[in-house]
Amino acid sequence: MGLQETVLIQLRDLILRGEFEPGRRLAEQQVAERLGASRTPVRAALVTLEQEGLVQLNETGGYLVRQFTAQEVADAIAVRGHLEGMAARLVAEHGIPRQLEGDLRACLDEGDAALAPDPLSYECYARYAVVNDRFHALVLQACGNRALQRAVALNDKLPFAPASAMLPMQGSVQPDRDWMRYAHRQHHMLFDAMKRGEGARAQALAVEHTEVAQVNLRLALERRSDTEPVMPALRLVMGR
């Protein structure tokens, strides 16, 4: 984990919290100055956020904040849960090869270490986000269903649909720390179910796992309730 991942997380967090209104141009230099970073990691972060559907390219090649609704986000998260549930069930039914078992265990151990500090810093979050993405990618790759893999890749282009895009981001807030660690405990349980060949349980755990993302979305919107409605579509859908 390095500066690039930390910048990505901070910029994604700012967009979710409404610090950049929809349609706003994200100038590399201005963003870099705000985050105390160079333009290189900012440029890389913008490319990733464009792939995630949070920003979009304009006609001049620059990046604009994309407008999206809370319902779009919630729907994308729900779809991801069902797709990953199917992937986890297939892995459990096929059996976990020794190499995959070792790789997944390494993710769990690294996640344990990343979430040990209290409070969690952006660096802790960035470290865990990398491990989280790897865990999900390993399961998806191991399922062996190419149509399912393509469906996940397509869904990941929707706002906040990718695995780590909606993890709790405020490590100094106790509820977020609790949800973050609960999500990681679910990884442990999911690994156990797949290893035991419990397909139905693995599928249910993977679907339930996305509830952490849904809760974080609700928490983020609640924290915005006293701010200016810089993203009216979000506030409208959530009844705010």
CA distance 191 to 124: 22
pLDDT by position in tens, the chain (length 240): 467 888 888 888 788 777 888 888 999 999 999 999 999 999 999 998 888 888 988 888 889 998 877 788 888 889 999 999 999 999 999 999 999 999 999 999 999 999 999 878 878 888 888 899 999 999 999 999 999 999 999 888 887 777 776 665 544 456 667 878 898 999 999 999 999 999 999 999 999 998 877 877 776 666 654 444 334 333 323 222
Domains, the chain, with CATH or none = 3-65 (1.10.10.10), 70-223 (1.20.120.530)
Per-residue pLDDT at 227: 45
- pTM score: 0.76
Torsion of CA 231, 221, 183, 103, to 10 degrees: 10
Chain segment 196-212, per-residue pLDDT in tens:
999 999 999 999 998 87
CA distance 195 to 95: 7
